[in-house]
Structure formats: C-alpha cells, structure tokens
C-alpha cells in the first residue's frame, strides 16, 4: 500500500485573527494610519474621542475595501459590469482610467445614413 491524500479544510489557513486576510489587514492598517493623522490634529484641539472614532471609521473603510466584493445588482448598470470583482481592483481601474484622461475608444461598424 502506498501513501494517499487525506482531504482537509484549508479555507481559513490564510486568515489572521480569523477575520483578516493579508490584503485586508494591510488596507485596515493604511486606513488606521490615515485616521491617526486626523486623530493627532483633533487631539491638539482637545477632541481626542472624536479622533479615535475617526480612526475606527477609516480602519473599517479600509477593511471593507480589502475584503468585500462589488455586489451584482441587475438594476444598476455599474454593478452589472463589475459585479463580483474586488472593490480595490475596481478602484484601481478607475484611477488608471482617470490617469488616461477618460479616453474611451468605441469601434462601430454601422454606416451613418442621412434621412432626406
């Protein structure tokens, strides 16, 4: 008898603290760093609690960008095109599109006719 494969559940082995993947942890930390800038500015004015809330909000936004996917809702044209893709990929593509000065090339094979 030779060795054989024993199936096992490896779904959550790439997770850190059960909820973070590597990508979502990085986005959460980046969001927390951006929020901490606001915290230091607000703590100088004596509003440290508001700054902590802003840190939590920015970290939550970063976590959601790194974790969730765009839902596929049929009634919206935008979600029909990008439904099921990661939010960070959609945002990255939007920035690249804006960088190229919004040029869209459409190739149309129809003839233009005039009604006279």
Mind listing the pLDDT tens digit for each residue in 3-38? Answer: 777 766 656 556 666 778 888 899 999 999 999 999
- 49-65 pLDDT, tens digit each: 999 999 999 999 999 99
| Position 94 confidence tier, pLDDT thresholds 50, 70, 90 | confident
DSSP letters spanning the chain: ----------TTTT-BTTTB-HHHHHHHHHHHHHHHHHHHHHHTTT-HHHHHHHHHHHHHHHHHHHH-B----TT-HHHHHHTTSBHHHHHHHHHHHHHTTT-------PPP----
- 100 pLDDT higher than 80: no
pTM above 0.85, yes or no: no
């Amino acid at each position: 008898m030779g060795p054989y494969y024993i199936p096992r559940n490896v779904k959550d082995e790439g997770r850190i603290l059960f909820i973070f993947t590597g990508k979502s942890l990085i986005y959460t930390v980046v969001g927390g760093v951006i929020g901490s800038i606001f915290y230091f500015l607000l703590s100088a004015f004596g509003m440290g609690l508001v700054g902590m809330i802003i840190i939590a909000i920015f970290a939550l936004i970063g976590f959601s960008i790194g974790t969730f996917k765009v839902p596929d809702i049929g009634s919206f044209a935008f979600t029909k095109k990008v439904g099921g893709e990661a939010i960070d990929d959609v945002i990255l593509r939007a920035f690249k599109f804006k960088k190229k000065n919004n040029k869209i090339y459409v190739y149309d094979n129809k003839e233009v006719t005039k009604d006279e």
